[in-house]
Structures are given as structure tokens and as C-alpha cells.
């Protein structure tokens, strides 16, 4: 008899489980809009040309080896990642007030940041927006923080509940940690305007809340790396402290390489270096040191002006394709006379559209049209193509009429 006999079967991850169900469907017209990964117009995963070229160079360079890299990762990668999110002329970087450690993509960066705060920060409560990426509460709970929520999305307008957000953060205990999606909020695609960000910043600073930015989509929202970093830079500019988790999964298509970074902006260089020394104590017993390959690719691209330019062009093309899918889907619903206001499809930002379809309508679309998405009605625009838009529009039309 197994010592694990008492185990019950755990449910599939609500997001990854969509793909499991999709894979089991034998229909030739099936469509997976659940996965948060970019697909080409042909529905294929994409490896960026700039990544292929750099990988070739890395393979041909016989001076490279596979030794362990430091606990905090590659120095070049860390320095250049901070520059990418904070800007080349960031005062925090110039003052050496930033510590950056290479982590296992966005998730690992959030987890290391969470464990560091649980261990060393006086307020162990983190506020998450409702809704948020499904993994956030689990990551921060297991890191040792207690999770609370603040209002974010207004179903009635399919936009931002700005008043609710200000009220909830306004009544959070002083010092609380606040998780903010830097851009392209997942799952809603709803972002504050820059004016609203400025009001959020003033509230957060006046209440001495600690901002923790999750930047999983820099460059993917608007097509511009700088534009998508504006909210983070607004907070850095006031001289206050904050954390940022960066991921290169989406903007460089390095999903499976697990490459990302955690940066902590501090008040002084001395504090930053003590913070880094403690981050090492979080990381060492967790996974010892991060993987070398993905970070080497990123560092090579960030270091070289030509490679960097080539990247921005490919990144913009991905963002533009997603934006054009929004327009095509919106137009297709208009031309079918589908009841309801669908303008949120073109207003929302980033990889996802929060359609407003309910769980029942989603399961109808899966059963009748073989279209797969999360039960909250979130669809990945990156999984759509001009060829599949009519099918999705037919399915939505049938689901709401
Ligand atoms: N944060 C948000 C909001 C995300 O949407 C994702 C990915 O879907 C992540 C973090 C983490 O992704 P990764 O760990 O692959 O970088």
C-alpha cells in the first residue's frame, strides 16, 4: 500500500487546464484562446529572429562554458534589465540605489520578492487587484504574506473601477504592500491612464504603502518598451522605494527559458547592497543559482545597439498583430449585429480581452464551436488570426443570442 494512498487528485491549473482540454479535442477546427503565449498568423509559436541569431553566436563561441553563475545571476543581465525597465537615465540607477537579481522568469521574481518581504518587511499584507492573474494569490501566500484585495475592474463598464481602487487602497493599513500590474493588466486588459497612475502614486506615497510592480508585458501592450514602463518610472522618479518583477517570457518569446529579474529600488546605495546580501540568503536554499542560457541571450541583445533595434521591430510587430486582431474581432461582431456594446475589445490593452462572457456562455462556445478559453471569459488575442476571427465572432454571436 502506498504511503501516498490518502491523496486526492488535485484539480488542473485553471489556466493550463484549458490547454489540456484543448489537446483532447479531436475537432479539426478547434481553437485555443486560453494560452497566454504569442502565436503567429498561422497559429504557430514564434522564436524571434534576433533570439535565433544570438543563440547561434553563443553556440559558436567556444570560450563559453556551463559553470554555475552567481546566486544573483549574470551581472550584465541584471544591470541591463534595470536599465530597460527604469530607463537609461534613471536617477535611481545613477545613485546605485537599485539592486537587481536574475530570477526564474516573472513568477520566480515575484516569489523571491515575496519571500524577501515576508522575512524582512514590517507589514506582511499584500493587496492584489480583483481580479488578477490566478497565480498571484498562491505565490504570495506560499511566500508567507497575507493576501488581501482591492477593487480594480468594473463589470458594468468593462473598465477600471477607479473610485473603488482609491477607496480600498486609501483604507489599507499604512505600510501595506500593493501589487500593481505595470501594463496590460491580466486578465482584464484594463490599465489606468497616466493621470490616474499619478493619483495612485500620490495615494500610495501619502499612505506609505509599498508598491510591488509585476511587469510581465513590457513592450507587448503598446509596442513601445518605454511607453509601457511609464507607470513604473513615475514611481521611481519620486525617490521612493519599490519592487519590480520583470519577465522576458512574452516580450522576447523566451517563455520556457525562465528568464526574469527582481529589482528593488532603495533609498540609498548602502541599503540596496544590504538588501542584495539578504536576497542571496532567500535564493541560495531555494534553487541555489539561476539558469545561464536565457539570461545570456537577453544580455547579448540588450548590450548591442543593432540587436536591440532588431528586437524592438519584432516586438512592435507582435504588439501590432494583437492590436489588429482586436479591430478585426470588433468589426466582425459589428457586421453580424451581435447584441451588446463590444467597444471594450478595442479599448482593452495587451494580450487579453476580458470579453464579459460568463462561464455558461464559455462552456457553450467550447461545446458547440470547439473554442477554448478560461471560464472567466478571458481570450488571448495572440491566439487569434484573420482566418479564425469569423469563427470566434460566430460563436460569440450564438452564445449571446
Ligand atoms: N505576471 C502576470 C500578470 C502574468 O500574466 C504572467 C504570465 O502569464 C506572469 C506574471 C509570469 O509569467 P512567467 O513566469 O512566465 O514570466
This complex has an ipTM of 0.98
Taking the CA of residue 255 as reference, the ligand 1 atom at the shortest distance is 15
Q: Which residue is closest in CA terms to ligand 1's atom 6?
A: 216
User: How many residues are there in the chain?
Assistant: 401
> How do residues 181-237 score in pLDDT, each as one tens digit?
999 999 999 999 999 999 999 999 999 999 999 999 999 999 999 999 999 999 999
250 annotated active-site: yes
Please say whether the beta carbons of 243 and 211 come within 8 A.
Answer: yes
User: pTM for this one?
Assistant: 0.96
How far lies 234's CA from each of 87, 108, 155, 197, 349, in Å?
A: 11, 25, 28, 8, 19
Taking the CA of residue 36 as reference, the ligand 1 atom at the shortest distance is 8
89 annotated active-site: no
pLDDT at 316: 97
Positive or negative, the CA dihedral 322, 185, 352, 82 is positive
pLDDT at 169: 98
Check if 260 has its Cβ closer than 6 Å to any atom of ligand 1.
yes
Catalytic residue among 168, 191, 228, 250: 250
Check if 168 has its Cβ closer than 6 Å to any atom of ligand 1.
no
Residue in 45, 85, 107 to alter for ligand 1 test, most ligand atoms within 8 A of Cβ: 107
> How do residues 94-126 score in pLDDT, each as one tens digit?
999 999 999 999 999 999 999 999 999 999 999
197 annotated active-site: no
pLDDT at 363: 95
pLDDT at 217: 97
Check if 214 has its Cβ closer than 6 Å to any atom of ligand 1.
yes
Distance CA 181, CA 188 (A): 11
> Which residues in the chain show pLDDT less than 50?
none
Give the helix, strand, coil percentages of the chain, each rounded to 5.
50, 15, 40
Amino acid at each position: 500500500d502506498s504511503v501516498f494512498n490518502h491523496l486526492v487528485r488535485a484539480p488542473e491549473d485553471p489556466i493550463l487546464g484549458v490547454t489540456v482540454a484543448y489537446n483532447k479535442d479531436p475537432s479539426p477546427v478547434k481553437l485555443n484562446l486560453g494560452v497566454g503565449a504569442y502565436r503567429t498568423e498561422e497559429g504557430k509559436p514564434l522564436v524571434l529572429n534576433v533570439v535565433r541569431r544570438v543563440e547561434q553566436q553563443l553556440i559558436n563561441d567556444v570560450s563559453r562554458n556551463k559553470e554555475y553563475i552567481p546566486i544573483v545571476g549574470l551581472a550584465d543581465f541584471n544591470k541591463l534589465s534595470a536599465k530597460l525597465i527604469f530607463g537609461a537615465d534613471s536617477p535611481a540607477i545613477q545613485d546605485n540605489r537599485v539592486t537587481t537579481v536574475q530570477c526564474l522568469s516573472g513568477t520566480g521574481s515575484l516569489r523571491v520578492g515575496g519571500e524577501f518581504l515576508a522575512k524582512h518587511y514590517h507589514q506582511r499584507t499584500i493587496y492584489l487587484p480583483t481580479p488578477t492573474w490566478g497565480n498571484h494569490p498562491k505565490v504570495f501566500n506560499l511566500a508567507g504574506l497575507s493576501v488581501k484585495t482591492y477593487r480594480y475592474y468594473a463589470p458594468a463598464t468593462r473598465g477600471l473601477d477607479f473610485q473603488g481602487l482609491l477607496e480600498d487602497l486609501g483604507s489599507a493599513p499604512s505600510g501595506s504592500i500593493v501589487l500593481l500590474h505595470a501594463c496590460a493588466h491580466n486578465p482584464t486588459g484594463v490599465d489606468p491612464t497616466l493621470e490616474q497612475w499619478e493619483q495612485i502614486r500620490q495615494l500610495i506615497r501619502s499612505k506609505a504603502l509599498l508598491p510591488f510592480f509585476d511587469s510581465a508585458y513590457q513592450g507587448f501592450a503598446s509596442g513601445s518598451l518605454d511607453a509601457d514602463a511609464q507607470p513604473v518610472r513615475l514611481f521611481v522618479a519620486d525617490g521612493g522605494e519599490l519592487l519590480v518583477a520583470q519577465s522576458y517570457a512574452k516580450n522576447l518569446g523566451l517563455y520556457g527559458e525562465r528568464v526574469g529579474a527582481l529589482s528593488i529600488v532603495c533609498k540609498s546605495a548602502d541599503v540596496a547592497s544590504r538588501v542584495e546580501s539578504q536576497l542571496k540568503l532567500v535564493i541560495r536554499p531555494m534553487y541555489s543559482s539561476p539558469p545561464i542560457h536565457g539570461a545570456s541571450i537577453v544580455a547579448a541583445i540588450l548590450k548591442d545597439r543593432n540587436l536591440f533595434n532588431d528586437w524592438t521591430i519584432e516586438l512592435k510587430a507582435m504588439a501590432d498583430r494583437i492590436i489588429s486582431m482586436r479591430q478585426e474581432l470588433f468589426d466582425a461582431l459589428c457586421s453580424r449585429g451581435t447584441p451588446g456594446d463590444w467597444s471594450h475589445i478595442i479599448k482593452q490593452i495587451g494580450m487579453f480581452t476580458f470579453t464579459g462572457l460568463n462561464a455558461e456562455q464559455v462552456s457553450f462556445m467550447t461545446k458547440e464551436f470547439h473554442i477554448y478559453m478560461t471560464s472567466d471569459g478571458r481570450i488571448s488575442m495572440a491566439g487569434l488570426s484573420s482566418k479564425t476571427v469569423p469563427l470566434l465572432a460566430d460563436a460569440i454571436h450564438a452564445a449571446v443570442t
